Amino acid sequence: MEQGFVLAIHGGAGVMPRADMTPERAEACHAALARVLRAGEDVLAAGGVALDAVTAAVTALEDEPLFNAGRGAVFTRGGTQEMDAAIMDGRDRRAGAVAGIAGVRNPVHLARAVMDHTSHVMMIGEGALAVARDANLTFEDDAYFFTQERWDSLRETLRMQAEGTLDDDPSRRHGTVGAVARDRAGNLAAATSTGGMTAKRAGRVGDSPLIGAGTFADSATCAVSATGDGEAFIRLSVAHEIDARIRLAGTPMEQAARQVVMSGLAAIGGSGGLIAVAADGSLALPFNCEGMYRGWSIEGESAQTAIY
Amino acid sequence: MEQGFVLAIHGGAGVMPRADMTPERAEACHAALARVLRAGEDVLAAGGVALDAVTAAVTALEDEPLFNAGRGAVFTRGGTQEMDAAIMDGRDRRAGAVAGIAGVRNPVHLARAVMDHTSHVMMIGEGALAVARDANLTFEDDAYFFTQERWDSLRETLRMQAEGTLDDDPSRRHGTVGAVARDRAGNLAAATSTGGMTAKRAGRVGDSPLIGAGTFADSATCAVSATGDGEAFIRLSVAHEIDARIRLAGTPMEQAARQVVMSGLAAIGGSGGLIAVAADGSLALPFNCEGMYRGWSIEGESAQTAIY
């Protein structure tokens, strides 16, 4: 039996503090989120599968310099950009992931190439880039990925670190993008992509590309994409934990997602949020910090976007 | 209340077929496993914590050229060695992991340095090596890690791939080492280390260094170290799944471990095994292939080793 499609996206829990958000910037963020939703909706409305919808939505998020993934990724303390991405197909739990890559226009395409064209799930660094070349993915130069805002943020962060005045602004720590979808046939999928943390050590990998931590999908239970303090999300296997609570404890998805974000993460000081869609089409977009760039679309209803 | 300590180790599910195993080699493997057990037992018998015991046991496994980790790691198709390792402390779910590293004598020490000396959980490649240098870890040259047997195995595998005669011998695919322990105070810990798959693509990361997939520990439930088809273990979040079945479904650990290895993995064609210790000190060492180099020690009983 066909059901309506459902799509949710996030542009990270790293929103700027409400006091610093100008009306112009908020409007630009809402408009960008709406464009991203349309990219995913177009796939689903044409009868496409959830896997292709989350690929399209995360591609649009990566192409958008406002969000920390692909173009507009943050800089490491060494001034480089290192990107991670993952994708998972809830139909069969096939998955692909990459970490520590640079130069590929859309890291989510490389995660998908690892899934589609190799026998592996996760590849890193130069070996991952060889897969990108084999799959004829588009590469871009440093200028494409550069944004003055992210560069200024790196310099400001390094200055504050040197002075010992670094505060806890999540906009430096929580930048990630992601999408989850249920298509009309009831298949679920999830994808996540990130530039990581501003001024992170080169080589640091967060939860985004780790299947079961920041990204997970099983059509029997849920699809999840997370954003936040990656280390806390890894220690709790956040995305797989939500699947496990639905499957093993019979907890409704929305409740499971809220438990993990509001209680589980909070208990170890982890800040952030996630988006999730359940097999029954219900949505959850919980976060335990000031905000999360997000949007959702339920077939037959008008799409919504929100920041705080 | 003090309890007796419990320790289990594995040298991977990549045992050679029974028909190829000579008495001399079997004896060498049993002797090596017994030495490794003693390295962990020494820590636990002196009142040390589980975290230090699994570090000591995996260090001894890495130093032993018979097993695929550290010295004696397998070669990638490019003739390089790339190693991954992870460690997790069940007391607080702190964890450290590294992937795609070379030259560090004991990769498990680097995983532990990431846990102890950085705010991160996972680091890869050059960034991880910078942490090793900062922590003054011992480096070795290529000759230290080289073994003729692994080199011959690479050449044989590449020849069979070229001829299209590659068979399914798990000894090329399943090499990993690991340890799990419960100390007298009841704390659990797990550690895993690997050279990966013979003739793997450079950059491939399996389940070993992924918290929740190949390595997991929570003193309330269990500590797990896995070995086998890494991709299948990642897709099932095997180690965290065992924790979840104990915690959310009330399944006894031994039954949960058997379910995941015998049913869950088998359903997606995943071959391999794992070692696990539960909070109550019970042990499980299930595998769904021909054998798994393994050993276990329960305080007050004589230590055991086994291959098939």
Helix (H) or strand (E) holding A116: helix A107-117
Q: Which two tokens stand for residue A300?
A: 């037959």
**Amino acid letter at A226?**
A
Return the pLDDT at A172. Answer: 67
Query: Alpha carbon of A202 to those of A33, A54, B47, B123: distances in Å?
Result: 29, 28, 38, 8
Which residues in chain B have Cβ-Cβ distances shorter than 8 Å to A241?
240, 244
Number of H helices, E strands in chain B: 10, 13
N-term to C-term CA, chain B? 36
* Residue B110: how many other CB atoms lie within 10 Å: 26
Helix (H, G, I), strand (E, B), or coil: what is residue A29? helix
Q: B246: nearest CA in chain A?
A: A248
Query: Alpha carbon of A305 to those of A8, A255, A295, A296: distances in Å?
Result: 10, 22, 4, 7
Alpha carbon of A238: minimum distance to chain B alpha carbons (Å): 10
Identify from A92, A116, A173, A235 which residue to disrupt to test chain B contact, counting B C-beta atoms within 10 A and taking the largest count: A235
Model pLDDT for residues B227-254, shown as the tens digit of each residue = 999 999 999 999 999 999 999 999 999 9
Which residues in chain A have Cβ-Cβ distances shorter than 8 Å to B95?
234-235
Residue A176 known to be catalytic: yes
Report CA Rg, chain B.
Answer: 18
- Out of A92, A125, A240, name the one closest to residue B212 (CB): A240
Q: Which two tokens stand for residue A83?
A: 């990107």
pLDDT score of B1 more than 60: no
Identify from A120, A168, A219 which residue to disrupt to test chain B contact, counting B C-beta atoms within 10 A and taking the largest count: A120
Return the pLDDT at B173. Answer: 67
For residue B16, what pLDDT band results from cuts at 50, 70 and 90?
Answer: confident
Exposed (0-12), middle (13-18) or buried (19+): which is B134, by Cβ within 10 Å?
A: exposed
Q: B76: nearest CA in chain A?
A: A127
Q: Which residues of A1-10 are buried (b: 16+ CB within 10 A; e: fewer)?
A: eeeebbbbbb
What's the pTM? 0.96
Identify from B83, B88, B92, B204 which residue to disrupt to test chain A contact, counting A C-beta atoms within 10 A and taking the largest count: B204
pLDDT score of B181 more than 90: yes
Q: Which two tokens stand for residue A168?
A: 């806890």
A12 in Cβ contact with A275 (< 8 Å): no
Q: A100: nearest CA in chain B?
A: B124
Which residues in chain A have Cβ-Cβ distances shorter than 8 Å to B120?
200-201, 204-205, 231
A206 in Cβ contact with B206 (< 8 Å): no
Return the pLDDT at B199. Answer: 87
Model pLDDT for residues B258-302, shown as the tens digit of each residue = 999 999 998 999 999 999 999 999 999 999 999 999 999 999 999
Mean pLDDT of chain B: 95
Helix (H, G, I), strand (E, B), or coil: what is residue B68? coil
Q: Which residues pair with A49 in a beta bridge?
A: none
Return the pLDDT at A171. Answer: 66
Residue whose tokens read 């039996």: A1
Question: A-B interface: how many C-beta pairs under 8 angstroms?
Answer: 144
SS3 content of chain B, % helix, strand, coil (to 5): 40, 25, 40
- Out of A124, A213, A230, name the one closest to residue B203 (CB): A124
Return the pLDDT at A175. Answer: 85
For residue B171, what pLDDT band results from cuts at 50, 70 and 90?
Answer: low
Q: Of the listed A176, A194, A198, A215, which one is catalytic? A: A176
Which residues in chain B have Cβ-Cβ distances shorter than 8 Å to A203?
123-128, 130-131
Q: Which residues of B8-23 are buried (b: 16+ CB within 10 A; e: fewer)?
A: bbbbbbbbbeeeeeee
Return the pLDDT at B167. Answer: 75
Q: How far apart are CA B49 and CA A264, in angstroms?
A: 26
Q: What is the mean pLDDT of residues B52-74?
A: 96
Conformational region of residue A250, where left means phi above 0, alpha means psi within -120 to 50, and beta covers everything else: left
Which residues in chain A have Cβ-Cβ distances shorter than 8 Å to B92?
268
Q: B77: nearest CA in chain A?
A: A127
For residue B209, what pLDDT band results from cuts at 50, 70 and 90?
Answer: very high
B238 in Cβ contact with B224 (< 8 Å): yes
Length of chain A in terms of residues written: 308
Length of chain B in terms of residues written: 308
- Out of A124, A216, A235, name the one closest to residue B124 (CB): A124
Q: How far apart are CA B275 and CA A155, in angstroms?
A: 47
Q: How far apart are CA B165 and CA B170, in angstroms?
A: 15
- Cβ separation A237–B240 shorter than 8 A: yes
Q: How far apart are CA A198 and CA A219, in angstroms?
A: 34
Q: Tens digit of pLDDT per residue, chain A (308 long)?
A: 578 999 999 999 988 889 999 999 999 999 999 999 999 999 999 999 999 999 999 999 999 999 999 999 999 999 999 999 999 999 999 999 999 999 999 999 999 999 999 999 999 999 999 999 999 999 999 999 999 999 999 999 999 989 988 876 666 667 899 999 999 999 999 999 999 888 888 999 999 999 999 999 999 999 999 999 999 999 999 999 999 999 999 999 999 999 999 999 989 999 999 999 999 999 999 999 999 999 999 999 999 999 99
Alpha carbon of A248: minimum distance to chain B alpha carbons (Å): 6
Query: Alpha carbon of B238 to those of A253, B208, B215, B244, B295: distances in Å?
Result: 21, 11, 9, 10, 21
**Could you give all domains of chain B from N- to C-terminal order, each with its CATH number?**
6-306 (3.60.20.30)
Q: Which residues pair with A81 in a beta bridge?
A: none
